[in-house]
């Protein structure tokens, strides 16, 4: 009985998100359970196409959209800390992904909208070299994208 | 003492939530300079922003997010005085949470 | 704010640093040095950078890195440490006393340092004073480059923001002047395998590139400590950076809070007189 409850909540995360929180609080769900939803396949994908397929269920290319605004430096001061902001002016956004194309594992972050979530996400990512930063946005019927090149140079001072 | 600092601000009906988490965010690809052994992956995988009993935004991360990571997200439906809770879990089972009042 | 361009003509016309270096340290007084130093940098950056703005280092002279920095300052990485530092400041020692008992006007005490201690004939710095307080109350001293000392300094510096740098070399005190000149000599002396002096990079080449890094001007170098460097992924102190710089030019490193670095700090901070303290700060 207990197992069924856990599994049901785990599978229908978005509908039962309130239940997840309560279950975690009540000790019914361990952090491990919530962790199980972390999309390993998407985060370990080695290409943008695989990320799109594993995270968004997309086959083929995403449509470029001007409604996706990426704010990122033209030249990153330090590749270890590159500030990225994605701001989307579309309705029905479910997920926003931040992808650094040339990173060994391109998918860095995915923001999933819960109830009332505004399609906006900002974090700092690591970039190993100059690369397109791609914001991929999933709505109910379609997946869109926008990109911006961020140059990453090697520091000279080292120390 | 918490590993996390959370700030929440309401403006024009939109709540802005900023969190700074103290975490090494190791990718698992680096090697220890002294021993040459790989440093195991240790990074925050999921950050959940809760308010009013609801999950407002979830951020899923890889080791590709910077050390001592920053999260900045927004949601509608919160008011000044409400509490916002941010909880994170990492790939080694570590977890922490912090709350802030919406100002 | 526009990117400030350094023209070759400007560089050629302003050759103060070699002039200061070629003279014996004792030939110019601290007051003369201060004016020459601050005029040099004001002119070098085409009068486009107000004096106080030098407190932001490279971000006062380069638009691109300034954008990176402003994005990071929206929720600065040093903030959690300021809070931790506040806890440290308010936590009593084992004997029941606290930092407040050593520093009556604390925690906003950054502006009081460094100063010349005439009785002990030495430069007193804030980290040294904090450790002396600890030891006087039976606590172990903290290491000087990073960790708890940097956290405590982050709180003190944050509370002291806005205080103006005001280091004085007491008139008529030969020992104080000697310590100041010691610091000055250190700054302009060539060192290490790369045979650079501090001035080579931070005077004559400030605003120019070393590979993809832009060299920050020496003016304002002391105001923002402790610094959260993205590179370190944590806070570090001024003496940690002195150490790092020396290692970068493959020169002999000196102990943090030893006489050499304290005298260097004395000289260097004096040169930023009038500029507000703005620690803790973030850098790449």
Contact by Cβ (8 Å): C72, A124: yes
- What confidence score (pLDDT) does residue A155 get? 56
Q: In this predicted structure, which of B25-39, C145-159, C166-180, C265-279 has the lowest mean pLDDT?
A: B25-39
C44-73 confidence digits (pLDDT tens): 999 999 999 999 999 999 988 898 999 899
Percent of chain B with pLDDT over 70: 98
Candidates A22, A109, A121, A127: best to mutate against B (most CBs of B within 10 A) is A109
- What confidence score (pLDDT) does residue C14 get? 44
Chain C positions touching B1 (Cβ under 8 A) are: 84, 87
Q: What does the mean pLDDT of chain C come to?
A: 91
Do residues A27 and A45 share a domain? no
Q: Is residue A24 pLDDT above 60, yes or no?
A: no
Give every CB contact of residue B19 below 8 A, 6+ residues apart in sequence: B4, B5, B6, B7, B47, B49, B70, B71, B72, B86, B98
CATH C-level class of C1-284: mainly alpha
- What confidence score (pLDDT) does residue A77 get? 86
Q: Is there a contact between B59 and A109 if contact means CB atoms under 8 Å apart?
A: yes
Helix (H) or strand (E) segment spanning residue B60 = strand B54-61
Between CA A92 and CA C78 the distance in angstroms is: 36
Do residues A82 and A109 share a domain? yes
- What confidence score (pLDDT) does residue B26 get? 94
Show the domain range for B45. 4-101
Looking at the domain assignment, is residue A158 inside a domain?
Answer: no
Q: In this predicted structure, which of A24-28, C72-76, C162-166 has the lowest mean pLDDT?
A: A24-28
Chain C positions touching B9 (Cβ under 8 A) are: none
Q: Looking at residues C120-127, what average pLDDT do you find?
A: 98
Contact by Cβ (8 Å): B57, B75: yes
A53-65 confidence digits (pLDDT tens): 999 999 888 999 9
- Chain C residue set in contact with B, beta carbons under 8 Å: 74-75, 77, 79-80, 83-84, 87, 230, 233-234
Is residue C97 classed exposed, middle or buried when 0-12, 13-18 and 19+ CB atoms within 10 A define those classes? middle
* Number of domains observed in the structure of chain B: 1
Q: Is residue A18 pLDDT above 60, yes or no?
A: no
The partner residue sitting opposite A83, judged by closest CB among C71, C209, C245, is: C71
- What confidence score (pLDDT) does residue A19 get? 41
Q: Is residue A144 pLDDT above 90, yes or no?
A: yes
How many angstroms separate the Cα of C83 from the Cα of each of B60, C37, C174, C190?
27, 36, 41, 40
B22: closest chain C residue by CA: C80
C245 is catalytic: yes
**C210/chain A closest Cα distance in angstroms:** 5
The pLDDT-based confidence of A9 (bands split at 50, 70, 90) is very low
CATH number for the domain spanning A116: value is 2.60.40.2470
Helix, strand, coil % in chain A, rounded to nearest 5: 25, 35, 40
Q: Which of C267, C269, C257 lies closest to C20, judged by CA?
A: C267
Q: Is residue C211 pLDDT above 90, yes or no?
A: no
Q: Is residue C92 pLDDT above 70, yes or no?
A: yes
- Chain C residue set in contact with A, beta carbons under 8 Å: 64-65, 67-69, 71-72, 209-213, 215, 230-231, 233, 244-245, 247-248, 284
The pLDDT-based confidence of A12 (bands split at 50, 70, 90) is very low
B26: closest chain A residue by CA: A126
Interchain CB contact of B3 with A (< 8 Å): no
The pLDDT-based confidence of C23 (bands split at 50, 70, 90) is low
C218-230 confidence digits (pLDDT tens): 999 999 999 999 9
The pLDDT-based confidence of A1 (bands split at 50, 70, 90) is very low
Q: Is residue C6 pLDDT above 50, yes or no?
A: no
**A103/chain C closest Cα distance in angstroms:** 19
Q: Which chains touch C (3 or more CB pairs under 8 A)?
A: A, B
Chain A positions touching C245 (Cβ under 8 A) are: 159
Q: Is residue C120 pLDDT above 80, yes or no?
A: yes
**C174/chain A closest Cα distance in angstroms:** 36
Q: pTM for the whole thing?
A: 0.84
B45-78 confidence digits (pLDDT tens): 999 999 999 999 999 999 999 999 999 999 999 9
Contact by Cβ (8 Å): C114, C269: yes
* Number of domains observed in the structure of chain A: 2
**A40/chain B closest Cα distance in angstroms:** 9
State the alpha helices, DSSP H only, in chain C: 8-13, 16-22, 30-44, 63-73, 79-90, 99-102, 126-136, 148-159, 174-188, 198-199, 238-248, 259-270
Helix (H) or strand (E) segment spanning residue A112 = strand A107-113
The pLDDT-based confidence of C1 (bands split at 50, 70, 90) is very low
B78-102 confidence digits (pLDDT tens): 999 999 999 999 999 999 999 999 9
Between CA C55 and CA C42 the distance in angstroms is: 13
Do residues A64 and A129 share a domain? yes
How many angstroms separate the Cα of C178 from the Cα of each of C184, C188, C266, C278?
10, 15, 11, 29
Question: Which residues sit opposite A135 in a β-bridge?
Answer: A98, A146
Q: Is there a contact between B68 and C77 if contact means CB atoms under 8 Å apart?
A: yes
B20: closest chain A residue by CA: A123
Between CA B20 and CA A15 the distance in angstroms is: 28
Show the domain range for A19. 2-35
Q: Write down the ipTM of this complex.
A: 0.95
Q: Looking at residues C37-42, what average pLDDT do you find?
A: 95
The pLDDT-based confidence of C213 (bands split at 50, 70, 90) is confident
Q: Is residue C162 pLDDT above 60, yes or no?
A: yes
Domain ranges of chain C: 1-284
Chain A positions touching C221 (Cβ under 8 A) are: none
Q: Looking at residues A147-156, what average pLDDT do you find?
A: 83
A60-107 confidence digits (pLDDT tens): 889 999 999 999 999 998 899 999 999 999 999 999 999 999 999 999
- What confidence score (pLDDT) does residue C21 get? 55
- What confidence score (pLDDT) does residue C31 get? 95
The pLDDT-based confidence of C18 (bands split at 50, 70, 90) is low
Do residues A57 and A128 share a domain? yes
Looking at the domain assignment, is residue A159 inside a domain?
Answer: no
Chain C positions touching B67 (Cβ under 8 A) are: 233
CATH number for the domain spanning B53: value is 2.60.40.10
The partner residue sitting opposite B20, judged by closest CB among C80, C87, C230, is: C80
Q: Looking at residues C225-238, what average pLDDT do you find?
A: 95
C74: closest chain A residue by CA: A83
Looking at the domain assignment, is residue A31 inside a domain?
Answer: yes
The pLDDT-based confidence of C210 (bands split at 50, 70, 90) is confident
Q: Pairing state of beta strands A143-152 and A63-64?
A: parallel
Percent of chain C with pLDDT over 70: 91
- What confidence score (pLDDT) does residue C7 get? 39
């Amino acid at each position: 009985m207990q197992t069924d409850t856990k599994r049901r909540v785990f599978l229908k995360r978005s509908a039962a998100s309130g239940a997840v929180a309560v279950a975690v609080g009540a000790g019914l769900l361990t952090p491990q359970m919530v962790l199980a939803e972390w999309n390993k396949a998407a985060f370990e994908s080695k290409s943008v196409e695989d990320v799109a397929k594993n995270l968004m269920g997309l086959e083929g290319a995403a449509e470029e959209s001007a409604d996706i605004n990426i704010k990122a430096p033209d030249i990153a001061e330090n590749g270890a800390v590159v500030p990225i902001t994605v701001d989307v002016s579309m309705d029905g956004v479910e997920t926003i992904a931040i992808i650094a194309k040339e990173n060994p594992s391109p998918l860095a972050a995915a923001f999933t909208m819960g109830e009332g979530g505004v399609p906006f996400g900002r974090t700092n990512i690591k970039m190993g070299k100059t690369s397109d930063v791609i914001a991929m946005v999933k709505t109910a019927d379609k997946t869109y994208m926008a990109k911006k090149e961020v140059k990453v140079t090697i520091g000279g001072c080292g120390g | 003492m918490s590993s996390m600092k959370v700030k929440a601000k309401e403006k024009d009906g939109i709540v802005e939530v900023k969190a700074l988490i103290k975490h090494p965010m190791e990718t698992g690809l680096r090697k220890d300079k002294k021993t040459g052994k790989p440093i195991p992956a240790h990074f925050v995988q999921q950050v959940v922003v809760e308010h009013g009993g609801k999950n407002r935004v979830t951020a899923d991360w890889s080791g590709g997010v910077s050390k001592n990571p920053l999260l900045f997200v927004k949601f509608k439906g919160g008011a000044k005085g409400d509490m916002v809770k941010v909880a994170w879990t990492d790939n080694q089972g570590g977890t922490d949470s912090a709350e802030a009042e919406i100002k | 704010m526009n990117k400030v361009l350094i023209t070759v003509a400007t560089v050629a016309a302003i050759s103060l640093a070699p002039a200061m270096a070629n003279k014996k340290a004792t030939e110019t007084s601290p007051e003369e040095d201060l004016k020459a130093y601050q005029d040099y940098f004001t002119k070098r950056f085409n009068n486009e950078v107000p004096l106080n703005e030098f407190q932001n280092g490279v971000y006062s002279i380069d638009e691109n890195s300034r954008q990176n920095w402003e994005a990071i300052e929206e929720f600065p990485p040093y903030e959690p440490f300021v809070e931790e530092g506040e806890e440290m400041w308010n936590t009593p020692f084992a004997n029941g006393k606290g930092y407040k008992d050593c520093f009556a006007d604390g925690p906003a005490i950054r502006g009081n340092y460094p100063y010349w201690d005439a009785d002990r004939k030495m430069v007193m710095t804030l980290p040294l004073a904090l450790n002396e307080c600890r030891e006087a109350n039976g606590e172990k001293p903290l290491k000087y480059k990073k960790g708890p000392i940097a956290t405590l300094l982050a709180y003190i510096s944050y509370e002291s923001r806005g205080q103006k740098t005001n280091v004085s070399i007491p008139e008529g005190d030969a020992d104080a002047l000697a310590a100041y000149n010691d610091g000055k000599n250190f700054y302009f002396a060539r060192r290490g395998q790369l045979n650079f002096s501090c001035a080579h990079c931070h005077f004559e080449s400030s605003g120019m590139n070393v590979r993809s890094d832009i060299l920050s001007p020496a003016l304002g170098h002391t105001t923002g400590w402790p610094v959260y460097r993205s590179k370190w992924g944590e806070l570090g102190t001024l003496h940690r950076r002195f150490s790092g710089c020396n290692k970068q030019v493959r020169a002999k490193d000196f102990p943090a809070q030893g006489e050499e670095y304290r005298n260097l700090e004395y000289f260097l901070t004096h040169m930023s007189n009038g500029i507000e303290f703005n620690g803790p700060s973030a850098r790449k």
